[in-house]
Amino acid sequence: MRWRIGLIGFGNVGRAFIKLYKEMHSYWAEKYELNASFHYVLNSKGGISKKDGIDLNALVSIAESNGRLDAIPGWKEGLTFNDALEQSSTNLLVEVSPTNIMDGEPALSRIITALAQGISVAAGNKGPFLFQYKNLVEIAKKHNLLLGTGCASGAALPTINFGKYSLAGSKITRIEGILNGVCNFILTRMEGQSTSFDQALHEAQARGIAETDPSYDIEGWDTAAKIIIISNTLMDTDLTLKDIAVEGLRNIGPELIFKAKQEQKRIKLIGFAENPGENVKAGVALQEFDSSNVLYHVMGTRKMIIYHTEPAGQYIVEGGASSPIGAAYALWRDILLNKG
């Protein structure tokens, strides 16, 4: 399969997506017969679009040097998605623009447009899946297209693919996990170094783990978005953000962490969904665990997901880098698994 790719978003993940292709493409070509070219790249101000493909070396060099997209020859200020689609015949849209949890736009409309035109999609942007998950799956199915959600639902941590393939045939009764590396890093620091929430957040920002505006992570929305996508995919629920209660870290003080520590417990931010069917219950909440629970042992930016299933019992998946490269890998993982 030759993937003719259009990329929306050239930030941390978009750049990592390009860099990873450069690094891995020979191996992927040999092992998965991957053959890819890039035909448009857009950011918030415009983009580049080339019917015959954008020069990969130029893209890689800008991605590696953290340079500006408008330095690439052919850059057009104000180039729109519709222009880019028209000018380049692509068969895959990779959507990694910022997640909008208010209405999923403009990514939602762009993904619908792409799917309706027979173009597959792999997205790190969670917004569209929060509002029209079922609709998007239906359109993709109807046209026999890839709709890659792995990056949006845990990135390098395998969540959807593990559930879909390794748990095929089992009934998943509950899913729970530590799904946000930034929050887990902050809680770990607050406990281990007895720092305040603000100090721990500062450290996360200084290390480049948390974004300048970290509210989406620390208010629990990122965890909520992931649990919704995972639950809708694997438990056949139809959850949206308004269906779940979301707790974040904003109000957590050192005294709570200290009290838990004295009782040999740890506080973790957990996303969960259970009882698929009419009584489905899902949410994001701070919970205390003692050392008999595996979630107690997940530290720093690590993530973990636990599946409670029938008939084979509990499964635990942990790992994968919490980083833009980990996120970019998750996009490629979905693409490599789908030969078109």
Ligand X SMILES: NC(=O)c1ccc[n+]([C@@H]2O[C@H](COP(=O)([O-])OP(=O)(O)OC[C@H]3O[C@@H](n4cnc5c(N)ncnc54)[C@H](OP(=O)(O)O)[C@@H]3O)[C@@H](O)[C@H]2O)c1
Contact residues toward ligand X (CB under 6 A) are: 8-14, 42-45, 96-99, 106, 124-126, 151-152, 155, 323-324, 327
8 Å CB contact between 240 and 208: no
CB of 49 to ligand X, least distance (A): 13
Q: In terms of CB distance, is 283 or 326 closer to ligand X? A: 326
| 81/46 Cα distance (integer angstroms) | 9
- Closest by CA to 329, choosing from 151, 210, 153, is 151
Bridge partners of 48, per DSSP, are 41
Q: Which is catalytic among the residues 50, 126, 226, 268?
A: 226
What lies within 8 Å, CB to CB, of 308 at 6+ separation is: 172, 173, 174, 175, 176, 274, 314
Q: Tell me phi and psi for residue 215, to 5 degrees.
A: -60, -35
Q: In terms of CB distance, is 298 or 328 closer to ligand X? A: 328
- Closest by CA to 190, choosing from 261, 248, 252, 254, is 254
Q: In terms of CB distance, is 179 or 235 closer to ligand X? A: 179
CB of 87 to ligand X, least distance (A): 16
Q: Tell me phi and psi for residue 169, to 5 degrees.
A: 90, -15
What lies within 8 Å, CB to CB, of 267 at 6+ separation is: 187, 191, 252, 256, 257, 260, 286, 287, 288
Using CB positions, name the residue nearest to ligand X. 11
CB of 323 to ligand X, least distance (A): 6
Q: In terms of CB distance, is 45 or 259 closer to ligand X? A: 45
> Which secondary-structure segment (H or E) carries 41?
strand 35-42
What lies within 8 Å, CB to CB, of 268 at 6+ separation is: 178, 184, 187, 286, 287, 289, 295, 296, 298
CB of 14 to ligand X, least distance (A): 6
**How far from each other are the two terminal CA atoms of the chain, in whole angstroms?**
6
CB of 324 to ligand X, least distance (A): 5
Give how far the C-alpha of residue 270 lies from the chain's centroid of Cα atoms, to the nearest Å.
Answer: 17
SS3 call for 302? coil
**Residue 226 annotated as catalytic:** yes
Q: In terms of CB distance, is 11 or 254 closer to ligand X? A: 11
Q: In terms of CB distance, is 62 or 187 closer to ligand X? A: 62
CB of 181 to ligand X, least distance (A): 8
Other C-beta atoms lying within 10 Å of the C-beta of residue 198: 9
Catalytic residues: 226
